[in-house]
């Protein structure tokens, strides 16, 4: 856990604690998902704060496991690139956006099916009032925000190849995102009662896409570089860390006596400059084409230099 960025780590912890509290309190008759889950806007239990709290609640162990696994897998990378403030703002805003899209989808179903004209609904084994029926339209889960993080990863590193089970070969991140979006769109159109908020997932991705596009067109929006993509800065920090290690190494080498040095000052400095130029070239290649584009020798060279 110590290598997980701050915001991603805290989001994981909060979600797990919320789920454990839900399971424990449910045994005492208190349903946290009913209190903190997102109800339909016309339901009697709807509250505005639920647009924020629903994304920290989950229906079952499988639900939270896959959401948290994806948050850990992609959130760590995106937060390292963007920084904690921008990452948290993006996560929360896209989660709220996903909730709004789900509310819009539910209102569309309410209007199209003419529920306003009925006082009750006949279920499989019971007849309940329309108010109770609408109150059961409750959405929980971080999926909308997580799908937005997935989209951000695909837009930041479109050419990065990733392995996805059960595919036998890696695929580029941009194709992975498009495939997932296509699956969700197809599911939203073809299924209406599978218990999955497909439009919320798409809503999170939509809000994420619009926000990233806005940041690209307005790189100085917000305060400081808050709206600026830090992909370049990510690799600049990598270069700066290596250069700092290199300067420390040079300082240590310069303290050695001339008797222990086997090469002249000119040869020593020329070799150091050549090493620096080679590392710069490798880092530039990573920034332009991704780590996967490095040859085996280049990866080994970068690994060896990091241990000096």
For residue 124, give the 3-state DSSP assignment.
Answer: coil
Q: What is the pLDDT of residues 95-143, one digit of tens each?
A: 999 999 999 988 988 898 888 888 888 877 788 888 888 888 899 999 8
Task: State the pLDDT confidence band at 285, using cuts at 50, 70 and 90.
Answer: confident
Round the average pLDDT of the chain to a whole number and report it.
81
Give the Cα separation of 39 and 18 in Å (integer).
Answer: 18
Q: How far is CA 288 from CA 81, 86, 143, 252, in A?
A: 15, 23, 31, 33
Short-list 270, 238, 234, CA closest to 77? 234
- The pLDDT of residue 208 is 93
Residue for token digits 């963007």? 82
Report, as an integer, the average pLDDT of 177-189: 71
Residue for token digits 């109800």? 39
pTM: 0.70
Task: State the pLDDT confidence band at 255, using cuts at 50, 70 and 90.
Answer: low
Q: What is the pLDDT of residues 173-182, one digit of tens each?
A: 888 888 877 7
- The pLDDT of residue 280 is 81
294 membership: H or E segment, kind and range: none
More confident residue, 119 or 197: 119
Handedness of CA 65, 98, 7, 178 (dihedral sign): positive
- The pLDDT of residue 301 is 77
């Amino acid at each position: 856990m110590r290598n997980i960025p701050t915001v991603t780590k805290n989001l994981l912890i909060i979600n797990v604690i919320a789920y454990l509290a839900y399971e424990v309190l449910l045994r005492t008759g208190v349903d946290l998902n009913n209190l903190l889950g997102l109800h339909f806007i016309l339901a009697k239990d709807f509250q505005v704060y639920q647009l924020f709290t629903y994304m920290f609640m989950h229906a079952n162990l499988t639900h939270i496991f896959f959401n948290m696994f994806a948050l850990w897998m992609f959130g760590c990378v995106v937060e390292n690139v963007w920084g904690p403030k921008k990452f948290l703002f993006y996560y929360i805003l896209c989660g709220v956006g996903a909730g709004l899209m789900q509310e819009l989808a539910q209102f569309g179903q309410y209007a199209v099916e003419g529920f306003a004209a009925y006082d009750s609904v006949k279920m499989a084994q019971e007849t309940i009032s329309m108010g109770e029926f609408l109150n059961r339209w409750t959405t929980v889960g971080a999926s909308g925000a997580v799908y937005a993080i997935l989209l951000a990863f695909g837009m930041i590193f479109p050419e990065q190849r990733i392995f996805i089970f059960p595919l036998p070969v890696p695929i580029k991140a941009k194709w992975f995102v498009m495939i997932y979006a296509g699956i969700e769109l197809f599911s939203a159109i073809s299924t209406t009662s599978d218990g999955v908020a497909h439009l919320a997932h798409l809503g999170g991705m939509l809000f994420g896409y619009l926000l990233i596009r806005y940041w690209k067109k307005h790189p100085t929006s917000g305060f400081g570089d808050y709206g600026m993509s830090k992909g370049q800065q990510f690799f600049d920090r990598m270069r700066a860390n290596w250069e700092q290690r290199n300067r420390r190494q040079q300082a240590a080498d310069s303290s050695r006596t001339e008797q222990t040095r086997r090469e002249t000052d000119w040869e020593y400095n020329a070799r150091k400059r050549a090493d620096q130029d080679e590392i710069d070239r490798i880092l530039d290649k990573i920034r332009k084409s991704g780590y996967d584009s490095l040859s085996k020798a280049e990866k080994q060279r970068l690994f060896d230099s990091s241990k000096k």
